[in-house]
Amino acid sequence: NKGAAAFLPTSRTLPELRRAAAGCQGCGLYRDAGQTVFGEGAVDARYLFVGEQPGDQEDRQGAPFVGPAGRVLDRAMEEAGIDRDEVYVTNAVKHFKFTYKGKRRIHQKPSAAEIDACLPWLTAEMALLHPDVTVVLGATAARALLGPSFRVTHHRGQPLPHGETVVVATIHPSAVLRAPDRDAAYEGFLADVRAAARVVT
């Protein structure tokens, strides 16, 4: 497996990328996962949200952020006054990586090699989108877009000009669900999403 680049179509619209990504074997993750979960949203979206990888529900349904983390993200977008018609949501890695714990499929962090292998899809999506703001959700998305030395904890909520867009990094919504003080973690997450909304308005 030499990465996703060999699977990219020559003609690159979002529907064509999605179709091609469905057959990607750029790393080993396609073998055990149910399906490729490509990004969703409008090509003219003003907000791009980049997560880590699909979870169990996303793998079953074939859409990003439709499980528990997605509900946290949905709530924050609504509270920040973000119009869903203005949003494109995707992940740094497009197949679910997991291990079994009994019958349950437990999320595993993608490796640096898997993040690199999948990056051509995210790069191709970003080449078509022209978001005012790109919200980086957690360390995996930050690694993919900003490199391994970027620290979300140091820069979260700060608008950082990045090429044609402005990046706002924050924690992953799953981290809100795992936090000892969920309410405080959510408020911090919401503050970062509000900072992203201020870039657009």
Residues of this chain that interact with ligand URA (CB under 6 A) are: 51-55, 58, 64-65, 67, 69-70, 91, 174
Closest CB 140 distance from ligand SF4, rounded Å:
12
Nearer to ligand URA, 84 or 198 (CB): 84
d(C-alpha 166, C-alpha 178), whole Å: 28
Closest CB 56 distance from ligand URA, rounded Å:
9
Tokens of 120: 């051509």
The sign one gets for the Cα dihedral 125, 98, 190, 142 is negative
Selection from ligand SF4, ligand URA, none that 58 binds (CB < 5 to 8 A by kind) is ligand URA
Tokens of 67: 């499980």
Closest CB 85 distance from ligand URA, rounded Å:
19
The sign one gets for the Cα dihedral 61, 139, 30, 129 is positive
Selection from ligand SF4, ligand URA, none that 118 binds (CB < 5 to 8 A by kind) is ligand SF4
Name the site residues for ligand SF4 (rule: CB under 6 A).
4, 21, 24-27, 29-30, 36, 93-95, 117-118, 121
Closest CB 108 distance from ligand URA, rounded Å:
12
Using DSSP, state whether 199 is helix, strand or coil: helix
**Residue 81 φ/ψ region, left for φ over 0, alpha for ψ in the -120 to 50 degree band, beta for the rest:** left
